[in-house]
Amino acid sequence: MTPQEIFGLIDAEMAQVETELQNQSGSDIALVRDIGRYVCNGGGKRVRPAILLLVARMCGYKGDAGPRLGAVVEMLHSATLVHDDIIDNSSTRRNQPSVNARWGSDISVLMGDWLYMTSFSIALAERQFRIIDILIEATRKMVEGELIQLEFNGRLDITEEQHMDISRRKTAFLFSACSQLGGVLGGVSAEDEERLRLFGLNIGLAFQLVDDLLDLTADERTLGKPVQSDLKEGKLTLPLIYVVQDDGGRRRELVQGVLKRRDADVSARAEIARLVKESGAYDRVMEKARDYARHAKGCIEGFPDGEARRALASIPDYITDRDR
């Protein structure tokens, strides 16, 4: 299925998600209202709420809690982006000025906190402890992932396993929460909930690996934020871990120099992008992403066949084809 067909299945529910986001970002405090709507109207593919809604439909759920929880996970995601942009001093997000670039870091920290608390307030209204448990665990893992990554910033000694642990915490756990929540709404068994958790986890890992590649090889318009931002922030992602592995020294020195300066010129950035492709790192990372995509598809085999399951089975391909 194409992305248009996937999202077309849940048009009405996604419209409810957008309405919920608009309603929840409203406030009698003008600054909160302005920033909240700036964040919510800032675009984004809304992949996370789409996964939640499609899983809920596949599991037989029909009701308004789906769109409400879709808004919850989107607000949690937005809160992490606001805080990440402060930490990374990013000036652009989704092809527009980041919140911290427009309003400053002090206000942005508080706005990220407001988004977190508002999202949990919506979730609490469902009066289901399992929902809260899943969201708290995902949020805790995301914060842990950011803290672990900060420890490794500027270092070349990070291993593939350590980087994947960071990716699992920072990105994949929120995806797994989305698919789990859809299953909870559908009242699935503990065994099926675990399969749905793994579905989301594998999708999240595939998503992050492709994102790591795009950060190094895409242009800014395609990416929606400054290119090679990870490298400028001192983060060594998997493509560059592969680039410097078993290297005679030249590649390692180039990457180390960029990590130290964090302000590589155009020629250095072009050289990095070239090395990622010519060293075989690009193909290795893409194959790993496709492996996670294949595992994700396997996790939903046996669930009721229908348009929702076929749409979910198409999402891993949609994610791994983002570079095209």
Q: What is the pLDDT of residue 84?
A: 86
DSSP string covering 77-101: HHHHHHHHHHHHT--EETTEE-HHH
Query: Do residues 182 and 61 make contact, with C-beta atoms less than 8 angstroms apart?
Result: yes
CATH number at residue 95: 1.10.600.10
Computed over its alpha carbons, how large is the radius of gyration of the chain? 20
Q: What is the model's pLDDT at position 227?
A: 65
Which residue range is the domain that position 305 belongs to?
A: 3-320
Helix axes 47-58, 307-320, angle to 10 degrees: 150
CB 49, CB 78: distance < 8 Å: no
- Per-residue model confidence as pLDDT tens for the chain (324 residues): 888 888 888 999 999 999 999 888 878 898 988 898 888 777 677 899 999 999 999 999 989 999 999 999 999 999 998 888 888 778 788 778 888 988 998 999 999 999 999 999 999 998 999 999 999 999 999 999 999 999 988 888 899 999 999 999 999 999 999 999 999 999 999 999 999 999 999 999 999 999 999 988 876 666 655 667 777 777 889 999 998 886 667 788 878 777 776 555 667 778 888 888 888 999 999 999 999 999 999 999 999 999 999 999 999 998 998 754
- Which residue type, as a one-letter code, is found at position 239? P
Residue type, 141: K
Name the residue type at position 160.
E
> Tokens 């899983």 identify what position?
55
Contacts of residue 182, defined as CB under 8 A and 6 or more positions apart, other chains included, come to 51, 52, 53, 54, 55, 56, 57, 58, 59, 61, 66, 196
Per-residue pLDDT at 239:
93
Beta carbons of 21 and 263 less than 8 angstroms apart: no
Give the number of domains in the chain: 1
